[in-house]
Amino acid sequence: MTAPAIIPVEEYLRYSGKPNCEYRDGALYPKPLPTTVHGLLEFTVAAMLSKLGLQAAPEVTVRISPTKYLVPDVVAAPILESPYPTKPVLLCCEILSPEDRLGTMLAKCEEYHAWGVPYCWVIDPMKRTAWEYHANAEPTRVTVSLTAGDHEISLEQLFAAIPEGK
C-alpha cells in the first residue's frame, strides 16, 4: 500500500472529481460511491429533517479543523453556514455503505463530537437498523425513532423510502 499524495488544502477545496473525498492532514480519502438505496436514504433523511424546520443537506463538506474536512452523508442545523460549515452543526448522519463498518462510522461520530456536534446518527440500510451517538453518551441502537434534541424522525417512515430486501 502506498502513502496518499499530500495536497494543499486550497487544492482540495477546488477538487471536483468523483468519488467525493475527505481531507485529512493533506491527504485525500475517497468516500464509497453511493448506491441507490444510500441515495434514497440521504434524500429521505434530509427531507424529513427539513419538514421539522431544519436546513438539511446531503454530502456537504464540513471543516472540522484547518487540516481536516469531512463529508457526512447528511448534515442539519437551524441554518447551514455557506459555502460549507466551519462551526459545528446540530446533527451529522452517516449511512453505511456495503463496505463500511459500524465501528469506523462511530469513530467518525467521535470526531464530529470533538468538533462540537451534539448529535450523530448511523443508519444501516441493509439491516434496517440505526444508532444514535450523542455527545457525552454511549452509542444506542434505536428501534422506533431517531432524535436530535427536540427533532425526531420515525424509522418506520424512513425505511419505507427503500424497497424491502434492498
What residue spans of 9-153 are helical by DSSP H?
Answer: 9-14, 36-51, 102-115
Go through the domains of the chain in sequence order and give each one's CATH number. Answer: 33-159 (3.90.1570.10)
Per-residue H/E/C for 89-110: CCEEEEECCCCCCHHHHHHHHH
84, containing H or E segment: none
pLDDT in tens, the chain (166 residues): 555 668 888 888 887 766 688 899 988 888 887 889 999 999 999 999 999 999 999 999 999 999 999 999 999 999 999 999 999 999 999 999 888 888 889 999 999 999 999 999 999 998 999 999 999 999 999 999 999 999 999 999 999 988 775 5
| Residue 43 cell numbers, joined | 434524500
According to DSSP, the β-strands at 21-24 and 68-70 are antiparallel
What are the residues facing 47 on neighbouring strands? none
Cβ proximity of 75 and 57 under 8 Å: yes
Q: What is the pTM of this model?
A: 0.90
- The greatest distance separating any two alpha carbons of the chain, rounded to the nearest whole angstrom, comes to 46
DSSP label at residue 16: -
